[in-house]
Structure 1
Amino acid sequence: MKSILVAQSFVWIGVILLGGVSAQEKPVSDTPNLVHDRHMHHHNHHHETEQPTEKRFFTTRSSQVMLPLPNEQDAFVFAVFGDRTGGPKEGVNVLADAVRDVNLIEPDLVMTVGDLINGYNSTEQWLGQMREFKAIMKELLCPWFPVAGNHDVYWRPLDDPKMPEGQHDQHYEMHFGPLWYSFQHKKCNFIVIYSDEGDPETGEKNFRNAKAQKISDEQLAFLKQALQRGEKDDHQFIFLHHPRWLGGNYGNDWKERVHPLLKEAGNVTAVFAGHIHYMRYDPQDGIEYVTLATVGGGQSSKVPEAGYLHQYHLVTVRPKQVAMAAFPVGEAMDVREITAQLQQQAVKLANQKPKVSTKLAPAGDDLQEGTVTTVIENPTDYPIDFTLTPASRDSRWSLSPNHTHGHVKPGESQKFTFNVRYRGKMNDESYQGIELILDQDFLAKTTRYAIPQVRTVVEFSKPE
């Protein structure tokens, strides 16, 4: 007899009679080289398939294997960007890299979760930041949809006599879109809500004050209507800035007034937010509450692989289930860019060591002084950025400067000199020399390719 244990990839061979002798075989593994089971922990069911028919499957070969075909039900992908702001203004470069990544994937659409600009300012600065954000996002090949966060609507200084009622609410709706709205796409309902309406009595906008973190009656009525519009859809997705379900300074308004509505709807699949600048997952009552990290916002990078990083989500939607995965910004590889020519030049750069010349002369008792001069050449058709660091395990060396950065255009070179001093005897057993450590980035049109680190031993003539 024979039975297959799929979960453990074992084939059990029962009692076999060979020439009248019975032998009990040990379990034989189908995967003798596999040392983990990470691929076996699924969040969803296997996809529905169909048997191949002449209409959909063609071959001129004969085989006993029947290849199941994917079901032709509609499926689509959308992306979600975390916070752009709450960090340095140079974070727009991370945002641009996220746009570059997503354009390689081409989802149907991109959602955001707020904090699009740094804000906390007045009109002139706000408008400049808005234009910068929109100029980058317009390069997306697909439509994108805004969500308002505190950085997008908070005005500073608060004692400014020019501060309008609602602070930057009017600016936001004039240049980004409505503070709350919904839209339909492929039997799914996307709902955007606003989590910085402020204290209804004082008008204060403050995400640390629970009174200012309640949904207004007006917006709650909208949410009820939007959910009703999507009642026959396969999925409903909600997007806002503040993850109010976490409670704490947000109070209990979400738990008491919003979550029951979403639960009652029966088809709210996921709710997405940002603000806290790290990833988090808090499912409740069949609803997946998902918090994103950043696409250029302030990032502590405490434990990048545990969600403290610049990243975006890709969500694959099928009628009966949804898949979600996070991708670090800048990690998508451009297949069409990696040509034979590009590879050859990158390999050439990786194999090249800097040219080194040295001068070292006595400068006193057991003291040697001199220079190490290096030439970094760029033999490629693209510019390179580099960092060059002199290092030694021998603490008697003094090396200045301790590193240098450079940018070399195609076909050009750059020379740099380090001043070195050695206090001690270079011919004793404890002497160790200097190594030059070269880190390079190959700057192609859409990608910075990190070249493997190159180490070069610096040769000196030792005194007799």
Structure 2
Amino acid sequence: MVFRGVVFALAVGLCASQAATQDFEHAVTGGATPWTGELQASDPKDLTFVIHSDLTGGERPGIFELAARQMALLRPEFVISVGDLIEGGGNREELIAEWESFDERAALIGAPVIYVGGNHDLSSELEREVWAERHGPHYFHFRFKDVLFLVLDTEDMTAERRDIIASQRAGAVEVYKTEGPEAFAQTPYAQSPERSTGAISKAQGDYFVEAITSNNDVRHVFVITHKPAWEAEETEFRRLEIALADLPYTVFNGHEHFYEYKNRLGRDYIQLATTGGEQFPEKGLSEDHVTLISVRGQDVEIATLMLQGIRDRKAEFPGVESIPCFAKASC
């Protein structure tokens, strides 16, 4: 699934929404009505979409498949993530097999899915090459219903530095598997700045500053980034914040696998937890969820929906026979 296809699907959805717009019609007469107010004709600028969080970095079987069916129940116009969609780290054939597995499961949502890369997806040159073949650019932006989306690549570093980080990461992953998270935290990879806040090149910074400048009439901007790049001492992300200063915007990130809300520069910065990934309850709220976002005119509503609470018309979890463990801390 490439970005061009996603944009086309969104555009088709928009046209269908406009075509379906009609006045509220009914046969009830007299004073009393079985509703509290007249239903308004749908506004083609109303926007509803879903964000899901990390599902890898120790994926727990069955959770994302269920989440995909649950997201389908929400009927979003599209779904986007904060990256880490595959485990990564393998050879070409293994990477392709992992992407095909994700594609198959994401198709259960029944809505356009916009791909966002995380460190598991974009760390090595091979991973980036496979991504480009399957999904196009590593970072991009799009505008839909006068809302601007900036999708960042926080693994954007020189080839030399990437080789070092990739080698360190491979070793750290093995340490994690054999010795656990405490030993992992002591590895060179875990202690590198790129592991925590990522890297954004000047070229990427230039790209997004131009995208913001060229779309300064939008209703809202959503910044989607895997790692919390603003926490770095020196970062291109600060240029984006300066360019966005006069616009309403919201930032979403993942990577750390626990939920955290911050108000920064008067804006919402929201770190999502997991949608099937490894959980770390000792760090904070580490539970499976998705985020439902509605844009109505200038207003943005954000609803954090725990997978535990999303059930079908039978009050069952769609597609599963037993209740999964959505929060490590309570299982």
Same fold (TM over 0.5): yes
Structure with max Cα Rg: 1
**Which residue does the alignment assign to 1:134?**
103
The structure 2 residue matched to 1:235, chosen from 216, 220, 239, is 220
Q: State whether structure 2 residue 141 is matched by structure 1 residue 182.
A: yes
The structure 1 residue matched to 2:47, chosen from 76, 96, 121, is 76
Residue type of the alignment partner of 1:244: A
**Which residue does the alignment assign to 1:46?**
none
The structure 1 residue matched to 2:192, chosen from 198, 204, 209, is 209
Give the Cα–Cα distance (whole angstroms) in 1 for the partners of residues 33 and 54 of structure 2. Answer: 52
**Which residue does the alignment assign to 2:127?**
168
Give the Cα–Cα distance (whole angstroms) in 2 for the partners of residues 64 and 136 of structure 1. Answer: 44
**Which residue does the alignment assign to 1:296?**
276
Give the Cα–Cα distance (whole angstroms) in 2 for the partners of residues 241 and 322 of structure 1. Answer: 21
**Cα 1:284–1:444, aligned 2, differ >3 Å: closer, same or farther?**
closer
Indicate the SS of the match to 1:196: coil
Q: State whether structure 2 residue 237 is matched by structure 1 residue 259.
A: no
**Which residue does the alignment assign to 1:446?**
319
Give the Cα–Cα distance (whole angstroms) in 2 for the partners of residues 268 and 201 of structure 1. Answer: 37
Indicate the SS of the match to 2:244: helix
**Which residue does the alignment assign to 2:120?**
151
Q: State whether structure 2 residue 42 is matched by structure 1 residue 85.
A: no
The structure 1 residue matched to 2:94, chosen from 125, 133, 136, is 125
Residues 390-401 of structure 1: pairs in structure 2 closer than 5 A:
none
Residue 281 of structure 1 and its aligned partner are, at CA, apart by 1.2
After superposition, the C-alpha distances for 1:216-263 in whole angstroms (9 at most, x for unaligned) are: 121112102221332111111111110122x2xx33315643322222
Indicate the SS of the match to 1:138: helix
Residues 345-384 of structure 1: pairs in structure 2 closer than 5 A:
none
Give the Cα–Cα distance (whole angstroms) in 2 for the partners of residues 253 and 210 of structure 1. Answer: 11
Indicate the SS of the match to 1:289: strand
Indicate the SS of the match to 1:139: helix
Q: TM-score, normalization: structure 1?
A: 0.53
The structure 1 residue matched to 2:312, chosen from 319, 328, 334, is 334
Indicate the SS of the match to 2:263: coil
**Which residue does the alignment assign to 2:156?**
197
Give the Cα–Cα distance (whole angstroms) in 1 for the partners of residues 147 and 278 of structure 2. Answer: 32
Give the Cα–Cα distance (whole angstroms) in 2 for the partners of residues 333 and 444 of structure 1. Answer: 5
- CA contact under 8 A between 2:311 and 2:318: conserved in structure 1? no
Residue 56 of structure 1 and its aligned partner are, at CA, apart by 6.5
- CA contact under 8 A between 2:53 and 2:289: conserved in structure 1? yes
Residue type of the alignment partner of 1:179: H
Give the Cα–Cα distance (whole angstroms) in 2 for the partners of residues 64 and 194 of structure 1. Answer: 52
- CA contact under 8 A between 1:98 and 1:295: conserved in structure 2? yes
Residue 68 of structure 1 and its aligned partner are, at CA, apart by 4.2
Give the Cα–Cα distance (whole angstroms) in 1 for the partners of residues 213 and 228 of structure 2. Answer: 23
The structure with the largest strand share of the pair is: 1
Q: State whether structure 2 residue 207 is matched by structure 1 residue 222.
A: yes
Q: State whether structure 2 residue 285 is matched by structure 1 residue 307.
A: yes
Residue 121 of structure 1 and its aligned partner are, at CA, apart by 2.5
Give the Cα–Cα distance (whole angstroms) in 2 for the partners of residues 126 and 229 of structure 1. Answer: 36
Q: State whether structure 2 residue 84 is matched by structure 1 residue 115.
A: yes
After superposition, the C-alpha distances for 1:260-306 in whole angstroms (9 at most, x for unaligned) are: 2222xx22421111000011111222321111111111013448xx6
Q: TM-score, normalization: structure 2?
A: 0.73
**Cα 1:59–1:259, aligned 2, differ >3 Å: closer, same or farther?**
same
- CA contact under 8 A between 2:66 and 2:317: conserved in structure 1? no
**Cα 1:167–1:308, aligned 2, differ >3 Å: closer, same or farther?**
same
- CA contact under 8 A between 1:83 and 1:274: conserved in structure 2? yes
Give the Cα–Cα distance (whole angstroms) in 1 for the partners of residues 146 and 32 of structure 2. Answer: 39
**Cα 1:310–1:56, aligned 2, differ >3 Å: closer, same or farther?**
same
Indicate the SS of the match to 2:264: coil
Q: Gapped runs of 5+ residues in structure 1?
A: 1-53, 156-165, 339-442, 451-464
Give the Cα–Cα distance (whole angstroms) in 2 for the partners of residues 317 and 189 of structure 1. Answer: 12
Give the Cα–Cα distance (whole angstroms) in 1 for the partners of residues 303 and 122 of structure 2. Answer: 30
**Cα 1:64–1:105, aligned 2, differ >3 Å: closer, same or farther?**
closer
Give the Cα–Cα distance (whole angstroms) in 2 for the partners of residues 103 and 139 of structure 1. Answer: 7
Give the Cα–Cα distance (whole angstroms) in 2 for the partners of residues 65 and 141 of structure 1. Answer: 33
Give the Cα–Cα distance (whole angstroms) in 2 for the partners of residues 101 and 295 of structure 1. Answer: 11
**Cα 1:87–1:319, aligned 2, differ >3 Å: closer, same or farther?**
same
The structure 2 residue matched to 1:282, chosen from 228, 237, 262, is 262
The structure 1 residue matched to 2:303, chosen from 325, 329, 335, is 325
Residue 177 of structure 1 and its aligned partner are, at CA, apart by 3.1
Give the Cα–Cα distance (whole angstroms) in 2 for the partners of residues 175 and 64 of structure 1. Answer: 53
The structure with the largest helix share of the pair is: 2
Give the Cα–Cα distance (whole angstroms) in 2 for the partners of residues 319 and 444 of structure 1. Answer: 33
Give the Cα–Cα distance (whole angstroms) in 1 for the partners of residues 191 and 130 of structure 2. Answer: 23
**Which residue does the alignment assign to 2:72?**
103
**Cα 1:236–1:207, aligned 2, differ >3 Å: closer, same or farther?**
farther
Residue type of the alignment partner of 1:209: S
**Cα 1:57–1:153, aligned 2, differ >3 Å: closer, same or farther?**
same
Q: Alpha carbon RMSD of aligned pairs, Å? A: 3.0
Residue 210 of structure 1 and its aligned partner are, at CA, apart by 3.5
Identity within the alignment, %? 23
